Structure 1
Amino acid sequence: MTTTARYEYHSELFRELAAKHEEQGEARGEARGEARAILTVLDGRGVTIPAEARERILACTDLAQLDTWLRRAVNATTVDDVLGA
């Protein structure tokens, strides 16, 4: 069994930077998951997803926008229904 000890920074500045870096990583991961959910819903509905639209969805890091797109994807028949193009 392997355990990983988390390093505790002695400097307040480094603790703040490490915390900020961790939060940014979590936000990127959440955005990536939302984007994949949108693509999964569209695929499940049989909607064709052009490469440009797929890239736009996967590149988005705005969680509010991704949430809007995911809600639209539930009833979408085209990618334009989701992206509002």
Structure 2
Amino acid sequence: MDGCLRCGADIIVNTDADNQYNADDIETIVRPILNGEADIVIGARPIDDTEHFSFVKKKLQHFGSWVVRKASDTDIPILLLAPLKTNRK
């Protein structure tokens, strides 16, 4: 992220490189930042609807997310916060 900011990025979009996310959605998810409606946007993948996740992986994802919520005292629904977008403020 520091390199992106040093290069002058105003908005950074962070996703996994395994094609789990549709690049066409980037415009939609940065729009609240561009419109001044948000400083940060956090996307969430629907774990239970992700067909290539095994039953065990889905349960571990939910358990890991629960642990993070308890440890951080937040209500963020999933452990993996991607895609994540923020602006330079």
Larger Rg: 1
TM-score by length of 1: 0.29
Q: Which has the higher strand share?
A: 2
Q: Which has the higher helix share?
A: 1
TM-score by length of 2: 0.28
